[in-house]
Amino acid sequence: MNRLAFVTFDPSHVEAAIKLVMDHYGKEKEEVSMLPVFSDYLPILAKNMKALAGKGEGIALIEDDTLLGFMAGYPIDAFFGRQKGIFVPVFGHGTVFSRRAELEQMLYVEAAEKWVKQARFTHSIAIFAHDEVLLDTWFHLGFGNRCVDAVRVIRSQPSGDPTLSFDEITIENASSVASLHAQHHRYYRSSPIFMPTPEEDALADLNDWLSRKGNRMFVVIYQGAVAGYIRYQGAGESLFSVHPRIRNITGLFVSPLFRHLGLGEKLSNHVESKLLAEGVDLVGVDYESINPKANRFWGRHFTPYTYSLVRRIDERMDSVCEESR
């Protein structure tokens, strides 16, 4: 008779866990063929997974010494609000692929009980975007989408628009875009995004970002006005965005006064022409699906490969858990 057991996810499980993640990644690559080969990620994946296992926060499901699945995440003290939570990255969970709906539910039931007892009420998990079975599974567990990682192949871009010019932003001229950057920062507070971005010194934030190696930023100028900007860097939010072939857009904003001109696409094309000249062939982006404008724009031009889903548990469960302790 087969025996199932939940145990703590530890470094002894990492090798088998990587194979489970590889199977899921392979299925996503069948849908998003431009993604790099899985073996390219093995060093960074092993390093990050060992770190997760070393925290002792994860669980593994074992059947007769065989790893059927695992789930491990990063505890966060204030996660999308004042409550504690946990984020399970796309490499932080995996199961035998053919049984993924059943096994992911089993893992979450076990893990969620542990998290709620720790007063971690915001749960987030990243999954591969084209796995309809897991999308349905997590939807019925009360999760909704919040963030998307997407990618596309860089293409040769059409010649420039003579009514526009582009400048690169450095620390020396960052003040020219500080006002627009502050406007972008405040935009996330609006409906239906409702991200309570704190007040900040926009110029200081820009200078800090620009001082980091590999970070580049460009503005588009229309009739003498800085009308929008775009910026990119090496790494995005997802582990699978970290690759020599990929650069990641981490900000794009166009002043509302100029949005009728299609400047977002022109900024993206400008960056792609720069990257193509450098021999980079993939560009990635992460964006909030709760931002309708971003969701429409990026979804039109890029292919999603992961979704980050979120569920919020009623914090009154804390008092219930206290009573049962």
* CA quadruple 220, 221, 222, 226: dihedral sign: positive
Residue 324 pLDDT level (bands cut at 50, 70, 90): low
Between helix 100-117 and helix 317-324 the angle, nearest 10°, is 80
Average pLDDT for residues 176-201, to the nearest whole number? 94
**Amino acid residing at 111:** A
Residue 303 pLDDT level (bands cut at 50, 70, 90): very high
pLDDT per residue as tens digits for the range 233-252:
998 889 999 999 999 999 99
Average pLDDT for residues 76-90, to the nearest whole number? 93
* pLDDT (0 to 100) of residue 161: 83
> According to DSSP H, which parts of 148-291 are helical?
178-187, 202-210, 263-277
Is residue 1's pLDDT more than 60? Answer: no
Segment among 126-130, 140-144, 159-163 with least mean pLDDT: 159-163
Is residue 26's pLDDT more than 50? Answer: yes
Percent of the chain with pLDDT over 90: 86
Residue 77 pLDDT level (bands cut at 50, 70, 90): very high
Average pLDDT for residues 214-228, to the nearest whole number? 96
* pLDDT (0 to 100) of residue 237: 84
Task: Spell out the domains of the chain, with CATH numbers in brackets.
Answer: 4-148+308-324 (3.40.630.30), 164-280 (3.40.630.30)
Helices (H) and strands (E) in the chain, counts: 9, 14
Is residue 325's pLDDT more than 50? Answer: yes
Measure the CA dihedral 160/161/162/166, to 10°: -70
H/E element holding 146? strand 144-153
| Total-model pTM | 0.93
pLDDT per residue as tens digits for the range 151-187:
999 987 776 788 999 999 999 999 999 999 999 999 9
Tell me how far CA of residue 36 lies from CA of 64, 96, 100, 149, 246, in angstroms: 34, 22, 24, 14, 9
Mean pLDDT (the chain) is 94
